[in-house]
Structure 1
Amino acid sequence: MFDQPGMGEEALNKVAEIGLASQLDEVENLDVDIKTDPLKLIQGEVDSVNIDGDGLVMQRDLRVEELDMQMSSVAINPLSVALGKIELTKPTEASVRAILTEADINRAFNSDYVRQQLQQQQIHVDGQLVTVDAQQVDFRLPGEDKVALNASILLRETGETHQVAFSAVPRVSASGQTVTLENVEHGDKEELSPELTQALIEETSEILNLSNFDLEGMTLRINNLQIEAGKITLQAQAHVEQIPSG
């Protein structure tokens, strides 16, 4: 009887898709598949919610190649659907899988937001306090669980351009909320400035932190970070207090 998506499911899907899209800067493809039936919906019961997205641009210009989110046994306020919203009556947990490509992370590094963070940094070079700007950042995923970064740095006082390069292994914190870089190896025998390298390391960690992926009403916790040549795959749990509505 309920093999075909009913009007209830179709309406829920559309409401959720519009709501999620409103939280994103860009969307190539977004599909929400909510499974329930009219009798359960009247009681506020939803069997499952699956969200499948491609080419989603989050805050800070961070693009995600693929995003899959799955929730089961979701409780909603049935009256909210009539108002064009999906209001959860209790929080639920979701499993999340996200894929970021090397190009996606490069896009974030060279976005206006991050470039502003890496401009006019005051650092010490050879004992002198100088002002530096990151001109171009090249982020790579060479494989072997590593990330690598090469940045062109302009010294404002002298007009000289220097290259800063390092590779490191990202590690997820015990809380699953942050990513830190370990086993940092410098590309050059002599660092231009430890402070500058540290600033770039912190910005790399910030881009990889899951706070960038949080949507309204959703908080993510990383379970696993898999790094391959050319891409990063995040496995995470999401605590969902509400599904964004348009």
Structure 2
Amino acid sequence: MPDLDDQAISKVAELGIKSQLDEVENLNVAIDIDPLKLITGALNSVSIAGVGMVMKQDLRIEQMEFNTGAVAVNPMSLAFGKIELTHPTEAEAIVTLTESDINRAFGSEFVKGKMQALEVQVNGETATVDMQKVSFGLPGAGKILFSTEVVLQNSQERKSVAFTAVPKVSPDKHQIVLEDVEYLDDQELSPEFTEAMLNQAKQLLDLRNFEIGDMTLQIKRLAALKGKLILESEAIVNQFPSS
């Protein structure tokens, strides 16, 4: 049986999580162990607190809090610097995204590439448009605000469009969908254009983008506050990441 304390095991888990991230400002992993229980492969709990975590697609998380109950592990795996779960474990996770986090993701090359050469209806005719200067806002009152400049490829005419929408949990609880769209100043361009923007937001705010290691997240509640979006979710963890 490996002679490991909770700090040593926590460090193993921390390195594994860092290996899954592009960047992280601060990460703290706390594993509560009872040496007598560890012999049988039981950890009391695992807590993860992260700040400034950058995931795939340049999506930054301002803060993540992650807490499990009891965790069943293969005790011998710890001797090889791994935390190997023998049974899936349940956890609670809270993810906080700021307005600037989401704008950063919309400004990434990955997303900008998906906002070019969109086929939409303009004045009753099909036109090809590029979206530029996409801005995502969190004004509070349970709403989000989108604004963008649209360039018609043929004429190079520019149109400014802005609308609010209400974020809600999708039926599968993996994504955030945006409903109750209201255009500002009668600027509506076309249903296709609106759908294209809403679809990009839904893809970015898919909880599967925030999964670390072999886990499944489902949103329980969300709150669109002034300047930040908070997602409370349930997680089923099959394995923690290893470095």
**TM-score for both structures, normalised by structure 2:** 0.95
Equivalence map 1:33-182=2 (5 Å): 33-182=30-179
Please state how far the C-alpha of 1:206 moved relative to its aligned partner: 1.9
Q: Deviations over 1:49-94 (max 9, x none)?
A: 0000000011111111110000111000011111111100000000
The code of the aligned residue for 2:215 comes to M
Runs of 4+ in 1 over 3 A off after TM superposition: none
Please state how far the C-alpha of 1:176 moved relative to its aligned partner: 1.5
SS at match of 1:211: helix
Paired with 1:27 and 1:138, the residues of 2 have a C-alpha distance of 24
Q: Percent identity, aligned pairs only?
A: 47
Paired with 1:234 and 1:207, the residues of 2 have a C-alpha distance of 13
Structure 1 residues 160-169 or 34-43, which shifts more? 34-43
SS at match of 1:237: strand
SS at match of 1:85: coil
Equivalence map 1:205-244=2 (5 Å): 205-244=202-241
Structure 1 residues 187-196 or 234-243, which shifts more? 187-196
SS at match of 1:241: strand
Please state how far the C-alpha of 1:8 moved relative to its aligned partner: 2.4
The code of the aligned residue for 2:92 comes to S
Contact 1:8 1:37 in 2 (8 A): no
Structure 1 residues 221-230 or 38-47, which shifts more? 38-47
The code of the aligned residue for 1:137 comes to V
The code of the aligned residue for 1:242 comes to Q
Please state how far the C-alpha of 1:100 moved relative to its aligned partner: 0.6
Contact 1:164 1:197 in 2 (8 A): no
Paired with 1:227 and 1:192, the residues of 2 have a C-alpha distance of 25
Structure 1 residues 223-232 or 114-123, which shifts more? 114-123
User: Could you list the runs of 5+ residues in structure 1 that have no partner in the other structure?
Assistant: 1-5
Paired with 1:13 and 1:70, the residues of 2 have a C-alpha distance of 13
Contact 2:162 2:187 in 1 (8 A): no
**TM-score for both structures, normalised by structure 1:** 0.94
Paired with 2:116 and 2:71, the residues of 1 have a C-alpha distance of 45
Paired with 2:160 and 2:213, the residues of 1 have a C-alpha distance of 39
Name the count of aligned residue pairs.
241
SS at match of 2:6: helix
Equivalent residue for 1:3? none
